[in-house]
Amino acid sequence: MRLLEGKTALITGVANRWSIATGIARAFAAHGAKLAFIYQGERVKDEVEKLAAELGGGKAYECDVTSDEALAKLADDIRRDYGTLDALVHSIAFVNKEDLAGKVFKTSRSGFALALDISSYSLIALTNALVDVLNDGSSIMALTYLGATSIVPNYNVAGISKAALEAIVRYLAFDLGDRGIRVNAISAGPISTASSRQVKDFKTMLDKVESAAPLRRNVTSEDVGNTAVYLASDLSRAITADVHFVDSGYHAMGMFPKQTEP
């Protein structure tokens, strides 16, 4: 059964084939969705265009989400090429590498502003630009992480940005609810991507989750993609303003279990 047949989705945040957004795009395509993509800069252009061609030949638009002019152009391009959208996937985040280690109170004012602008405000900016392109009953989803509500050493201002992002999800859900547009977040467990590997001691995070999570495994971008399909489909038409954890149950652990020999 193809749950997204006849639906059109805009995917943000693809950097390469290991990106979480790539896993979501593959899952959407497998369920019949027509896809559009955005990217920023020549560095990732080839990868995004290659994925777009592989998954049905959708359009890939260059768009700087910190520019209102670029976002307005994106809306015009989507309207011209697709007409309307049924889903928007926000998988955009950026933090200066030096702000992903050490003490959070050492975060620079400019580094904090940059992280919040790109990682959090961009969801507001994208929604504002595309609100008239989104069909009633559409689904918006944003990628978040446990560091939004719990202390994850070295995640620092990235966690603060995710906390803001989750609050934005709730307020947008209220604002758009009269049109039946749902807004949710997916809190994925740690997945090895180009971005996540910038976090100091990231490998240790993977090892901790695998040993302590109820399911005793780390998650994959495919796992996240499956949840994203559900949120984009009509099966979730009464689900909004929530954070959906895809982390093998790790978020529910109050303390680590004692490790025993097999």
Residue 251 near residue 187, CB atoms below 8 Å: yes
As beta bridge partners, residue 60 has 37
Residue 41 near residue 19, CB atoms below 8 Å: no
Instruction: Specify whether 155 is catalytic.
Output: yes
pTM of the predicted model as reported, rounded to 2 decimal places: 0.95
Domains of the chain: which residue ranges?
Answer: 8-246
- Nearest alpha-carbon partner for 139 in 85, 78, 87, 91: 87
Separation between Cα atoms, residue 38 and residue 211, nearest integer Å: 36
Tens-digit pLDDT profile for residues 70-115: 999 999 999 999 999 999 999 999 999 999 889 999 999 999 999 9
Query: Domain 8-246: which topology?
Result: Rossmann fold (3.40.50)
Out of 145, 171, 230, 250, which one is annotated catalytic? 145
Instruction: Specify whether 230 is catalytic.
Output: no
Separation between Cα atoms, residue 54 and residue 67, nearest integer Å: 29
Sign of CA pseudo-dihedral 11, 162, 123, 68: negative
Separation between Cα atoms, residue 230 and residue 166, nearest integer Å: 19
Amino acid, res. 187 = S
Separation between Cα atoms, residue 158 and residue 173, nearest integer Å: 22
Separation between Cα atoms, residue 186 and residue 140, nearest integer Å: 11
The share of the chain scoring above pLDDT 90, in percent, equals 88
194 or 170, which is more confident? Answer: 170
46-73 average pLDDT score: 97
Out of 39, 82, 155, 250, which one is annotated catalytic? 155
As beta bridge partners, residue 186 has 143, 244
pLDDT at 64 over 50: yes
Tens-digit pLDDT profile for residues 122-176: 999 999 999 999 999 999 999 999 999 999 989 999 999 999 999 999 999 999 9
Residue 10 near residue 37, CB atoms below 8 Å: yes
Separation between Cα atoms, residue 171 and residue 173, nearest integer Å: 5
DSSP assignment of 126-153: HHHHHTTTEEEEEEEEEEE-GGGTS--T
